């Protein structure tokens, strides 16, 4: 089974990788936007303007990655300070879901960075937030609870097989 401490470590690594990638992309976009070749020679040349929009977007991505790291560090600190035996679905919990076809998936309920995937041994763990439809459907549920969710216009039924404590 998954070690929650090892999972926290892997999530930190993935968040750091995302930040490193975002910083590199922001640097490239900034260099392109400020390059002398990007200066418009007529009002119809918009490459420089487009490059500056891209540079701004990449800077916003860097800030979001930094905020994600802060959110998770705060959560990890809070979790290590509290010895909770509460087995309801909430931020900081690892959840195993099983659908009606018997397919299982692991989800980590995080404060941000929804959609990020972490691979641990043979398991793939996806981060979900409580703001997502899946997070909303699972919040405060307990191991053994069932719930339904409308996905792409189709109803999906799930059972909560496990909630980490």
What pLDDT score was predicted for residue 3? 80
Alpha-carbon distances, residue 16 vs 9, 69, 94 (angstroms): 11, 8, 20
The backbone torsions φ and ψ at residue 5, rounded to the nearest 5 degrees and listed phi first, read: -65, -40
pLDDT at 82 over 60: no
Beta-carbon contacts of 14 under 8 Å, excluding residues fewer than 6 positions away, are 116, 117, 118
Least confident of 16-20, 65-69, 79-83: 79-83
Q: What's the pTM? A: 0.83
For 102, which DSSP code? Answer: S
**For 71-86, b where at least 16 C-beta lie within 10 A, e where not — what string?**
bbeebbeebeeeeeee
**Per residue in 112-127, pLDDT tens?**
999 999 998 788 999 9
Dihedral angle, C-alpha 134, 135, 141, 142, nearest 10 °: 90
């Amino acid at each position: 089974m998954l070690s929650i401490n090892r999972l926290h470590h892997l999530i930190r690594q993935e968040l750091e990788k995302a930040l490193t990638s975002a910083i590199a992309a922001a640097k490239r976009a900034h260099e392109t936007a400020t390059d002398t070749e990007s200066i418009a020679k007529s009002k119809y040349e918009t490459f420089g303007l487009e490059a500056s929009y891209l540079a701004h977007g990449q800077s916003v991505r860097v800030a979001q990655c930094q905020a994600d790291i802060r959110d998770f560090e705060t959560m990890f600190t809070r979790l290590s300070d509290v010895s909770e035996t509460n087995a309801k679905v909430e931020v900081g919990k690892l959840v195993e879901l099983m659908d009606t076809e018997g397919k299982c998936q692991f989800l980590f309920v995080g404060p941000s960075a929804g959609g990020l995937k972490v691979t641990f041994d043979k398991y793939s763990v996806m981060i979900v937030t409580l703001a997502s439809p899946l997070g909303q459907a699972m919040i405060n549920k307990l191991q053994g609870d069932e719930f339904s969710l409308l996905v792409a216009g189709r109803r999906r039924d799930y059972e909560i097989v496990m909630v980490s404590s």
